[in-house]
A and B are shown apart, each in its own frame.
Chain A
């Protein structure tokens, strides 16, 4: 099963990527031509760039916020508020991304709640159709991704923190460590592994984003929010450029691996110390 539906397609992707094919007629050998296109076409390079920009929103923001929330929750861990927060923050993770996309495209539309709120606090001047504006569309998509992923990071990081030996904190207190010292000296090193998992999962989510973008912007306006995942889909099934789509797919797979492996290695090395 795995071989048939994962390994074979993987091989075929590489094979297709070396040809020029419209999906129906005969294919012609293109060698590395498709790859040259991927790496020289400014539009395609911009699309790959978009994926990297999304890492900030999908990965950096949720991990940092998740850390902050996890620390707070640990400190007030017995209260009802903390338990509720854990559940509520995790909700976006379980609903279909498509539904998240629909809900947010509505919130961010020109008559949506976000603009309503901004007008209410006297910022009516900057209201706009956030997903339709060239300069704000990509950050807006990033916001949706961050919304989805904060909960996951929080829960994962919290689980790491519950395993920390409380005596470590006591020792830190006795040594006169402040909150910040305690956080950097005790908490952070202890949850290295969990942070690595969070970063890995969210980076993959950023690089391979598809659902949210498809629903909320279709890559537009122009190509402002086009990401590799969506471009592969469009190239292969709308423009019938199977070869080029496959080359982009291979590049995407390699990029993901190239981002994820160093993270794993760093985490391993840290763990061994």
Chain B
């Protein structure tokens, strides 16, 4: 499928231009972050004296250590529980075809398109009523709930296509449902489970709305939420702000690049099954 030379060249140009536009903000963040702190730099220029110290300064100014710890705690609270519940629910609805499963599934589908803003107000008063406002639980618990529609949908899509013969064979060997789930189907579902884990990690890490509404103390928020506060506090010190942004986005880039192949493959299969 080789097109004419002109096509290939114009195609390449398109790709390169788009890539340049995509990378531009990252480059700009970096060059700006290296300008002397407190100055008001202009445009894109490599500084004469790169101030790598800005990163340390931003790290300390924003209490990044505590932020990182907080984000990790929140992720640790949200992701494993969500994945576990979603896998079980997906198995029950998609594979075992439990009675009533369809109704439950329709309820989840309804939640799939729900904008978080749609429920944020009552969520605030609900969390307040539980006395959890300004604790990490205020982010963890609602997020688990809000991620459920997508997670269950995702796992169901996997289990619907899981071969039924395996189950029948295992059943004749006298395996109970619990073992069937853990020994046979969970290992088979590993690709779907790990990509769900990566997606949920990113979404939790990047969660902004819940963090700024439900938690006042930036050091108890997610990274993205904390960055919001950081902007409010240091908004006029552009180099420092850029350094802070870079520190916060690096972990997500690392995760993406590390699991990239996995990630893209999963995205391709998962989101299209339904």
Contact = CB atoms under 8 A, between A and B. Distances in A.
Contacts of A8: 122, 126
A113 B242 CA distance: 14
B115 A256 contact: yes
B114 interface: yes
13 contacts: A1-B144, A72-B12, A92-B25, A96-B205, A96-B224, A96-B248, A98-B245, A116-B43, A156-B272, A162-B268, A200-B113, A207-B115, A256-B113
A253 B125 CA distance: 19
B30 to A, nearest CB: 10
Contacts of B192: none
Q: Most chain-B Cβ atoms within 10 A of its Cβ — which of A82, A103, A159?
A: A103
B224 A211 contact: yes
A235 B3 CA distance: 55
Interface stretch (B53-61, B90-98, B249-257): B249-257
A10 B256 contact: no
Contact of A73 (B15, B40, B117, B120): B15
A122 to B, nearest CB: 16
A82 B8 CA distance: 12
Contact of A232 (B19, B23, B113, B121): B121
B25 A252 contact: no
B14 interface: yes
A242 interface: yes
B80 interface: no
Contact of B148 (A6, A82, A98, A102): A6
B188 interface: no
B68 to A, nearest CB: 14
Contacts of B24: 107, 113
Nearest to B107: A7
B121 A246 contact: yes
B148 A2 contact: yes
A69 B14 contact: yes
A210 B224 contact: no
Given A73-B15, A98-B208, A156-B271, A106 B32 contact: yes
Interface stretch (A38-46, A52-60, A83-91): A83-91
A177 B30 CA distance: 47
Contacts of B255: 94
A106 B42 contact: no
Provide the main secondary structure of the chain B interface. Answer: helix
B148 A13 contact: no
Given A13-B118, A228-B117, A5 B144 contact: yes
B46 interface: no
Interface residues of A, number: 87
Interface of A: 1-2, 4-10, 12-13, 16, 23, 65, 68-69, 72-73, 75-76, 81-82, 84-92, 94-100, 102-104, 106-107, 111-113, 115-116, 147, 150-151, 155-156, 158-160, 162, 166, 169, 179, 193-194, 197, 200, 204, 207-208, 210-211, 214-215, 228-229, 232-233, 236-237, 242, 245-246, 249-250, 252-253, 256-257, 260
Contacts of B212: 214
Given A8-B126, A179-B7, A96 B120 contact: no
Contacts of A85: 15, 18-19
B21 interface: yes
Interface of B: 1-3, 7-8, 11-12, 14-16, 18-19, 21-26, 28-29, 32, 40-44, 85, 107-108, 111, 113-126, 141-142, 144-146, 148-149, 202, 205-206, 208-209, 212-213, 223-225, 227-228, 231, 238, 241-242, 245-246, 248-249, 252-253, 255-257, 260, 264, 267-269, 271-272
A87 B225 CA distance: 26
A164 to B, nearest CB: 11
B107 A86 contact: no
A106 B28 contact: yes
A111 B40 contact: yes
A98 B228 contact: yes
A233 B42 CA distance: 33
Contacts of A257: 113
B120 A232 contact: yes
Contacts of A23: 125
Q: Most chain-A Cβ atoms within 10 A of its Cβ — which of B85, B114, B118, B125?
A: B118
A6 B114 contact: yes
A249 B228 contact: no
Nearest to A150: B18
Q: Most chain-B Cβ atoms within 10 A of its Cβ — which of A86, A113, A147, A237?
A: A113
Contact of B145 (A6, A12, A106, A256): A6
A269 B264 CA distance: 28
Q: Most chain-B Cβ atoms within 10 A of its Cβ — which of A76, A89, A102, A156?
A: A102
B244 to A, nearest CB: 9
